[in-house]
Chain A
Amino acid sequence: DTGVSQDPRHKITKRGQNVTFRCDPISEHNRLYWYRQTLGQGPEFLTYFQNEAQLEKSRLLSDRFSAERPKGSFSTLEIQRTEQGDSAMYLCASSLATPGVPNQPQHFGDGTRLSIL
């Protein structure tokens, strides 16, 4: 069990640029979640997948944000036309949902810290 892996750890970019982050979940986990966390706040839900299906997306998420999990394993989160307000830590988490026990603990990665200049 290598844990949840996120890449890159840090990303600095200019306003208006597009960025893409990658998350590799724990291999046997079928659910994958994306969160955004700013200083002094709890993780804010963005979206989650069960296998390759995107089951829910936050209404707070603008059209500039898109996430994919094409083969039900790793996931990418893309932010287009970045804005200063997008600066945050982007956390990925995974869990194993089974029919009898859908709400298992979430295991978090170390996150990608995005800084917009």
Chain B
Amino acid sequence: GQQVMQIPQYQHVQEGEDFTTYCNSSTTLSNIQWYKQRPGGHPVFLIQLVKSGEVKKQKRLTFQFGEAKKNSSLHITATQTTDVGTYFCAGRSSNTGKLIFGQGTTLQVKP
């Protein structure tokens, strides 16, 4: 079945350093979504990417969707302590409502 893998599993950075998490799917995706989950909280939607090669920015966050629509990345520039949490990618292989989540990348930021 469809699998979505994320690396790294954990990342510790000094405040101000950059951070990147990578997401790879075993199948071609119709779209990919990114969510953030704070410790003790629930996943919160960040963004959706649909087009091959798409790049979207939200302030210090940059999201990319690969040309083959099988991979994606999230890059945070100049991390802040408020960026702490687990970042999940979640992909769909068709127009079904079913989302497959990656295992997540947990970001710790040292002040």
Contacts and interface: CB of A to CB of B under 8 A. Distances in A.
Interface of A: 31, 33, 35, 40-45, 48, 50, 55-56, 59, 91, 93, 95, 97, 102-103, 105-111
Closest 4 CB pairs of A and B: A42-B101, A105-B45, A108-B42, A43-B101
A45 B42 contact: no
B102 A42 contact: yes
B44 interface: yes
Nearest to A59: B1
B111 interface: no
B52 interface: no
Interface string B70-109: 0000000000000000001010100111111111100000
A45 B98 CA distance: 7
Contacts of A103: 30-31, 33, 48, 92, 95, 97
B66 interface: no
Given A42-B90, A103-B31, A105-B33, A56 B97 contact: yes
Contact of A108 (B43, B48, B102, B104): B43
12 contacts: A42-B88, A42-B90, A42-B102, A43-B90, A45-B100, A48-B97, A91-B42, A95-B97, A105-B33, A105-B45, A108-B43, A111-B42
Given A41-B104, A103-B33, A103-B48, 15 more contacts: A33-B97, A42-B88, A42-B103, A43-B43, A43-B101, A45-B100, A48-B97, A50-B97, A55-B96, A56-B97, A59-B1, A91-B42, A97-B97, A105-B48, A106-B43
